[in-house]
Amino acid sequence: MKSADCDILVVPGYTNSGPDHWQSRWQERLSTARRVTQESWDHPEPEAWRDAVIAAVQAASRPAVLVGHSLGVISCLQAAPYLAPGSVAGAFLVALPDVERPDTPAPLRTFAPIPRAPLSFPSVLVTSRTDPYTAYDRAGEFAAAWGAELVDAGESGHLNAESGHGPWPEGLMRFAGFLRTL
């Protein structure tokens, strides 16, 4: 699949993805990409975030490819059981936050538990060995439960602009490779 054959739905996490974040840069670069917007980026509500993903997939004119980061990953997972079969071609998920950890800030704990049901579409989970919000092994357990391919991003922090992943060309190449498998 080429990017022109799908609607790329960018699903940011808590506080949105700023202009230097790889999601924002990819959205500008990929003509079929659009952002799934949330009513409140600073006060996330799981049902509202899930419903925004569902609505974006339903509004897509082509098969959707979800590109979730951080809390956006969980929103994609929570939306998955409500999506029509075949409406999502795949999901490229990056930097899952383990909202089940006891040190998770209260507003984000409302997204627990993290779904563990297998996804009905191909997926990739890109995770870092030094992500402050999820242990690498724990991310691997979730990927296995979903049937997702686990991609080791090395020591890359939370894979956001703050960790030096503004343009993130390696991620874009990995995403292009993922699209080719769909």
For the chain, domains (ranges, CATH) are 7-181 (3.40.50.1820)
Asked if 88 and 66 count as a contact pair (C-beta separation under 8 A), the reply is: yes
Q: Which residues of the chain have pLDDT under 50?
A: none
Q: How far is 93 from 11, CA to CA, in rounded Å?
A: 9
Q: How far is 9 from 108, CA to CA, in rounded Å?
A: 22
Distances (CA, A) of 103 to 46, 98, 136, 152, 156: 19, 10, 17, 24, 21
Write the CB contacts of 152 (distance below 8 Å, at least 6 apart in sequence): 127, 129, 136
pLDDT of residue 115: 98
Q: How far is 53 from 11, CA to CA, in rounded Å?
A: 8
Q: How far is 70 from 148, CA to CA, in rounded Å?
A: 16
pLDDT of residue 86: 96
